Structure formats: C-alpha cells, structure tokens
Structure 1
C-alpha cells in the first residue's frame, strides 16, 4: 500500500501566529458490498485536508477532481470495527465514521 504525507505551514493574516495545517494523502481500501463468496473492497485514494476528506478512484493532485467529498464537521467521531476471529493473517483496520447527533443532520454514518 502506498503512502504519501505532506505537511504545510500556513501563516495567518491577522498576526504572526503560525498555524500548522496538516495534509495527509494515501491509499485505503473502501468496502463496496458483498459478493457471493467474499466481501468486495476497492482501492481509493484519499486526501485529508482541514475538515474535508476527498476520495477518488485514482491518485489526483487537485482535490477538486475527487469523486466524493466528506465534510468532517458533520461527523462526531470514528470507531474501529473488529472481527472476533479472522482467517486472514493480514492486519485489516476497519472503521466507521459516526455523524453528530444534532437535529437536522442528515449525513449518513
């Protein structure tokens, strides 16, 4: 699995206070459904920039070309999903993102 990390330093206009805005990018495998004998997972390229998560099928330099965009301000937390037993020797980290519980929030989990 390829990983690429970048970090940028941004200086605010209102003063000389430097704020570090992290940008993370890399490949993950996204659950896409169940087949006859196994689960279907597809590789996706993700960019985490500020409060937004950009997801695309292929590696893109410009996040505006991403197919999916999640505003993480609408979500409260993420939780790791663990299987009781796994036949696979690979270490699969699975997680879900849970939405905020305030009224009017209609984003899916």
Structure 2
C-alpha cells in the first residue's frame, strides 16, 4: 500500500486521501471578462506531464485539509508534500522532470 505523508497528520495509507487536481492554478481575477474559450481553458485544460507534477490532495479520512504534493506520475513516488499556500519546496525538479 502507498503511504502519503500528510503535512498536518503525518504518514497515512493512501485510502485516506483523494486527488484534488493540479496545484498552483491561479483563478482569474475577474472571470466575467473572460471569453467562453478562455473560461473553458481555465476550467478544463491542465498540464499532464510524465514525471514530477505538483498536485492538490485532500486528507478526507483524517484532518480533512487540502495540501500540495509533488508526485512522479510514472512511479507514484511522492517527492514532497507541503501545506497549501506555501511555495513549492526549493531544490525540487520542475514539472515533467523525474524525481529520482
């Protein structure tokens, strides 16, 4: 079983968590000014890199809080987890690069 380190509760089994999408996606300041195409792009177009990727996760069966994680999409290896609202950890590879 995969173990995920919640930054609030510590390591827990993967069954306690739910994937929440790509991390660090900024919401438009004034969505009413966007065209339908731009709004659709904001809602549905996300990066899907092979390798390291910043993601949002929620500890559903624990503290219930969202957090960010750097996960390698080819191996499911979690390189780091960190609290929402904090910057990506320094020294970690960019999205799409391998974590090992």
Query: Which band: TM-score by shorter chain?
Result: under 0.3
* Larger-gyration structure (1/2): 1
- Could you state the TM-score of these two structures normalised by the residue count of structure 1? 0.26
The structure richer in strand per residue is 1
TM norm structure 2 = 0.27
**Higher normalized helix content (fraction of residues):** 2
Higher RCO (CA < 8 A, seq sep 6+): 2
